[in-house]
Chains A and B, each alone.
Chain A
Amino acid sequence: MSERQSNNGSAFGRRKALALPFAALAARSGRAVAQAKEPFRFGCLMPTTGLEAGYGLDFVKTFEMATKDINDHGGVNGHPLEMVVLDTQAKPELAIPAAQKLIDVDKVPLIVTAWSSVVKALGPVMNRGRTLQLNMGANSPDIANLGDFTYSTFPLADVDVTALANYCHTKMGKRRAAVLYINNDTGIGGAKLFRDTFTKAGGEIVAFEAYDPKATDFTGLLLKVRVANPDMVHMHSLAELPQVIAQMRQLGMTQQITSYSVGYNPKILAQLGAAAEGLIVTSLAPTSTANPNVVKLLDLWKQVGRAPNGLPYLQYAWDTTLVTAQVYGWLDQQNMPLTGENCRKALLAIKTFDLPMTGKLAVTDDHKVQKPVYLYVVKNQQFTLLETIA
């Protein structure tokens, strides 16, 4: 289990402060740079190795960028913010002992997480350990029911998948849908939601098929779909999404393909080429055109030297760091110790967060997050905005 601590992220230049609540906290401390006071630490459980590391490492990088930015602007009331990162490989069996270490050894009161199977597995661990879990990227609808110590800063699938399924039926006129999904918590939850929403809207699900997470050949599965004769195929996949699409197109199947936010990834365009044309995916965060704050994040990534994986997720990673800073700042102002229970109290007391990358976040009793949904379609090898669903 690899571990690293970070309070300054990568070597990025000093940036202008965004108009953020935490900046006000920093200003109140009267310090330009957080150094002298005891650091405030939070945990970060992400896949930094394994199949999902392409996303996980970029999430961690963005947490580091945001943490550095906060510290460059005075930290949290003068306290430097520190992150303790542990690897999960997106696997619950690794995430549970890692979380236990963060709770028992590192004594962090708040842990940021992602990946549905990990977040769901950690729900009971967080409840027992009375430590706050902030989910910043998993979208299984079940996450809303994990108890008092799991909240999301990221909308669950019932936001974007519901919007997508309704759009396909009402706006695109699709009537017969096939749903293919990876057989894990991410796939099962999202696929069921698409099925139920599409059916409720009046459509028919003509095939509903899961595949093994280690599968590389999807021919039989796709032939089953072909026989069912759908007019669209929704894929609730992870890293294997390009392979499924490639094999579908190679079998001569030309149906409309949709996926969720994991499909909004430039690498998919490179792997599929012309076969990606027409693919519709969701995104839960505005682009740099709609939100100039995103330019700052893109500028930081330019210094890394490559396009980041899953930019919308990174926007949530950035904002989740700010939520953490605000929660810690609120507790510091109230002279309350940094515990999981107090972090939960602070989250509910602050209730509304104005965040630079993803907009307003309202913490609600149902543990759900409402955000606008952006639908993108691949046109001429680029993701083009198709519709914004408020």
Chain B
Amino acid sequence: MIEPAILLQILWTGIAMSSYFVLLTVAFALTLKVEKLWNFAQAGLMGVAFFAMFYAMNALALPTWAGIAIGLGATIAAAVALEVWAIGVLRARNSGGLTFFIFTLVFSQFAAYALTILFGTEPETIYPSVMSPVRILGGVAVSDWDLLAVATTLALMAALWAFLRFTRDGQFMIAVSDNAKLAEIYGISAKRAYVISGVIAAIFLTAGIFLYGTRAGVTPDVPLVLVLTAVIGALLGGIGRIFAAGVAAVSLGLLQSFSILFIPSKWQALLLYGVLFGALILFPRGLPAWRIWRLRRRLGPATPPAAPEPLTEAGE
């Protein structure tokens, strides 16, 4: 079983398959960082994104680009509406963390039921066919879907990094995530930062569920399962560390993929939750490697002393 071609195949497919988990995890981690919000409503937004694209491309027979545009538009609109008319209101009322948690969960359940009424519960894929053309490179099967997934994820991650690093809005988001009240004293609009983080999360969610829905069947309750995986990635990466959460999602995907060499396939899902269980008990602030790395960056002689902490986090 442990032949180089097989290991390479598992590695490649594991990376490709983890791409949508990366996107969903980063969306969750971004909201958690900027808004300090465990936003389970993202499951509902995933549902909106998927079924908007599904309807556009199947019932309306629109081309892919138009379907994605409609899905993106619907998801961004829902995310902004949620921020302005629901989460923003709760924030203005100084609601407790539990209220936000329950509200976002209720929103996702509401969305799942509404989508069930509209679209039924049969698993649907965005395209009628789940097949994707394949080429063999060095003994490794590489499908068009794999390439699309990896390229989309890399492009979006690079764009997010650049946005946070080089734009004023990006830096304001980091400032708000660090201390929203202090940021507002300096004239930064926390509301704007929240809306922008919601919009970025919506883009990532749409991309993630598009990739998922072109490979596997989606029912209205599937996003609730996906958001749980995103939570695991965000927790393992360490709360507030967006890119570390993405790396954690890839690591989890690869761990699951390679575990097939050592354990029966039916235990793979158990492994995911086992890792989370252990990590929460042993490393409640995220895996230690990230902490050591951050500590080295902070204390090491080569570290520029003037680099502000929030920007360092964003640049991970």
Contact = CB atoms under 8 A, between A and B. Distances in A.
B141 interface: yes
Contact of A212 (B143, B257, B268): B268
Interface stretch (A45-53, A114-122, A337-345): A45-53
Counting contact residues on chain B (CB < 8 A from A), the size range is 35 or more
A243 B217 CA distance: 8
A210 B264 contact: yes
Interface stretch (A34-42, A271-279, A346-354, A370-378): A271-279
A272 B129 contact: yes
B134 interface: yes
Interface string A258-272: 000000000000111
Given A223-B9, A239-B217, A53 B17 contact: no
A219 B8 CA distance: 12
B265 A211 contact: yes
Given A220-B260, A239-B123, A271 B116 contact: no
A221 B134 contact: no
Nearest to B12: A219
A213 to B, nearest CB: 9
Contacts of B266: 183, 210-212
B9 A54 contact: no
Contacts of B4: none
Contact of B123 (A54, A211, A246, A274): A54
Contact of A53 (B122, B136, B259): B122
A215 interface: yes
B265 A210 contact: yes
B123 A223 contact: no
Given A227-B1, A251-B9, A217 B257 contact: yes
29 contacts: A53-B120, A53-B121, A54-B122, A210-B265, A211-B268, A212-B268, A212-B269, A214-B225, A216-B215, A217-B14, A217-B256, A219-B10, A219-B17, A220-B259, A221-B265, A223-B260, A224-B265, A226-B6, A227-B1, A227-B3, A227-B6, A243-B130, A243-B217, A250-B132, A250-B141, A251-B9, A252-B134, A272-B130, A273-B129
Contacts of B130: 242-243, 246, 271-272
Contacts of A246: 130-131
Interface string A85-111: 000000000000000000000000000
Most buried by B among A218, A220, A239: A220
B125 interface: yes
Contact of B268 (A215, A270, A271, A272): A215
Interface in A209-255: 209-212, 214-221, 223-224, 226-227, 239-240, 242-243, 246, 249-252
Contacts of B212: 216
Interface in B30-79: none
